[in-house]
Protein backbone atom coordinates (compact mmCIF):
# COMPACT_ATOMS: atom_id res chain seq x y z
CA UNK A 1 0.00 0.00 0.00
CA UNK A 2 1.37 3.39 -0.93
CA UNK A 3 1.97 5.91 1.84
CA UNK A 4 -0.71 8.26 0.45
CA UNK A 5 -3.30 5.45 0.59
CA UNK A 6 -2.18 4.53 4.11
CA UNK A 7 -2.61 8.16 5.20
CA UNK A 8 -6.12 8.31 3.71
CA UNK A 9 -7.14 5.08 5.41
CA UNK A 10 -5.78 6.23 8.78
CA UNK A 11 -7.56 9.58 8.45
CA UNK A 12 -10.84 7.84 7.78
CA UNK A 13 -10.40 5.56 10.73
CA UNK A 14 -9.90 8.61 12.94
CA UNK A 15 -12.86 10.55 11.54
CA UNK A 16 -15.32 7.64 11.46
CA UNK A 17 -16.04 7.47 15.22
CA UNK A 18 -16.32 11.27 15.28
CA UNK A 19 -18.87 11.02 12.48
CA UNK A 20 -20.93 8.39 14.30
CA UNK A 21 -20.87 10.47 17.50
CA UNK A 22 -21.85 13.62 15.59
CA UNK A 23 -24.82 11.84 14.05
CA UNK A 24 -25.82 10.64 17.54
CA UNK A 25 -25.64 14.23 18.78
CA UNK A 26 -27.91 15.35 15.93
CA UNK A 27 -30.76 13.29 17.37
CA UNK A 28 -32.30 16.09 19.50
CA UNK A 29 -32.16 18.41 16.49
CA UNK A 30 -33.82 15.79 14.29
CA UNK A 31 -36.54 15.18 16.87
CA UNK A 32 -37.20 18.89 17.13
CA UNK A 33 -37.37 19.25 13.35
CA UNK A 34 -39.76 16.29 13.17
CA UNK A 35 -42.34 18.14 15.27
CA UNK A 36 -42.36 21.04 12.80
CA UNK A 37 -41.51 19.49 9.41
CA UNK A 38 -41.76 15.74 8.89
CA UNK A 39 -40.46 15.88 5.31
CA UNK A 40 -37.34 17.81 6.26
CA UNK A 41 -36.81 15.44 9.18
CA UNK A 42 -36.94 12.37 6.92
CA UNK A 43 -34.54 13.98 4.47
CA UNK A 44 -32.12 14.86 7.26
CA UNK A 45 -32.25 11.34 8.71
CA UNK A 46 -31.52 9.83 5.31
CA UNK A 47 -28.66 12.25 4.68
CA UNK A 48 -27.11 11.73 8.12
CA UNK A 49 -27.38 7.95 7.78
CA UNK A 50 -25.84 8.12 4.32
CA UNK A 51 -22.76 9.90 5.66
CA UNK A 52 -21.93 7.06 8.03
CA UNK A 53 -22.97 4.24 5.71
CA UNK A 54 -21.04 5.50 2.70
CA UNK A 55 -18.00 6.34 4.80
CA UNK A 56 -18.02 2.79 6.13
CA UNK A 57 -18.41 1.35 2.64
CA UNK A 58 -15.55 3.53 1.44
CA UNK A 59 -13.24 2.26 4.15
CA UNK A 60 -13.85 -1.27 2.91
CA UNK A 61 -13.50 -0.41 -0.78
CA UNK A 62 -10.55 0.17 -3.07
CA UNK A 63 -9.66 2.42 -5.95
CA UNK A 64 -12.42 4.35 -7.71
CA UNK A 65 -15.19 2.73 -5.69
CA UNK A 66 -13.63 4.06 -2.48
CA UNK A 67 -13.55 7.56 -3.93
CA UNK A 68 -17.17 7.27 -5.12
CA UNK A 69 -18.33 6.24 -1.63
CA UNK A 70 -16.42 9.10 0.02
CA UNK A 71 -17.85 11.52 -2.54
CA UNK A 72 -21.38 10.34 -1.73
CA UNK A 73 -20.65 10.68 2.00
CA UNK A 74 -19.41 14.23 1.34
CA UNK A 75 -22.61 15.19 -0.46
CA UNK A 76 -24.67 13.70 2.36
CA UNK A 77 -22.66 15.55 5.02
CA UNK A 78 -23.27 18.81 3.19
CA UNK A 79 -26.96 17.94 2.89
CA UNK A 80 -27.16 17.19 6.62
CA UNK A 81 -25.70 20.61 7.40
CA UNK A 82 -28.07 22.24 4.91
CA UNK A 83 -31.06 20.55 6.58
CA UNK A 84 -30.01 22.08 9.90
CA UNK A 85 -29.65 25.49 8.26
CA UNK A 86 -33.05 25.24 6.56
CA UNK A 87 -34.76 24.16 9.78
CA UNK A 88 -33.21 27.08 11.63
CA UNK A 89 -34.09 29.53 8.85
CA UNK A 90 -37.72 28.38 8.67
CA UNK A 91 -38.39 28.18 12.38
CA UNK A 92 -35.87 30.63 13.79
CA UNK A 93 -34.85 28.21 16.53
CA UNK A 94 -31.48 27.48 17.92
CA UNK A 95 -30.91 24.98 20.73
CA UNK A 96 -27.97 26.69 22.38
CA UNK A 97 -25.41 28.73 20.44
CA UNK A 98 -22.53 26.66 21.81
CA UNK A 99 -24.24 23.38 20.87
CA UNK A 100 -25.02 24.67 17.40
CA UNK A 101 -21.42 25.83 17.03
CA UNK A 102 -20.09 22.45 18.18
CA UNK A 103 -22.31 20.49 15.78
CA UNK A 104 -21.39 22.81 12.92
CA UNK A 105 -17.68 22.52 13.75
CA UNK A 106 -17.92 18.73 13.76
CA UNK A 107 -19.80 18.67 10.46
CA UNK A 108 -17.24 21.08 8.99
CA UNK A 109 -14.43 18.76 10.14
CA UNK A 110 -16.16 15.74 8.59
CA UNK A 111 -16.74 17.66 5.35
CA UNK A 112 -13.13 18.88 5.31
CA UNK A 113 -11.79 15.37 5.74
CA UNK A 114 -14.01 14.02 2.98
CA UNK A 115 -13.01 16.87 0.65
CA UNK A 116 -9.37 15.86 1.08
CA UNK A 117 -10.22 12.24 0.32
CA UNK A 118 -12.10 12.83 -2.92
Under 8 Å CB-to-CB from 2, ≥6 apart: which residues? none
Under 8 Å CB-to-CB from 84, ≥6 apart: which residues? 26, 29, 44, 103, 104, 107
**7 or 46, which is more confident:** 46
- Percent of the chain past pLDDT 70, that is, above it, reads 82
* pTM for this predicted structure: 0.84
Average pLDDT over residues 41-67: 95
Nearest to 84 by CA among 59, 57, 111: 111
Asked if pLDDT for residue 2 goes beyond 70, the answer is no
What average pLDDT is seen over the chain? 87
- Per-residue b/e over 42-78, b at no fewer than 16 CB within 10 Å? ebbbebbebbbebbbbbeeeeeeebeebbbbbbbbbb
> Domains in the chain, start-ordered, CATH in brackets?
3-117 (1.20.1440.60)
pLDDT for the residue 85: 87
pLDDT for the residue 7: 56
Amino acid sequence: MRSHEQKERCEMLRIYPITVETMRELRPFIERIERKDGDLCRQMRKAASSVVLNMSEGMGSRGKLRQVRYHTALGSARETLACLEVAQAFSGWSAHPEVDADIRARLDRIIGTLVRLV
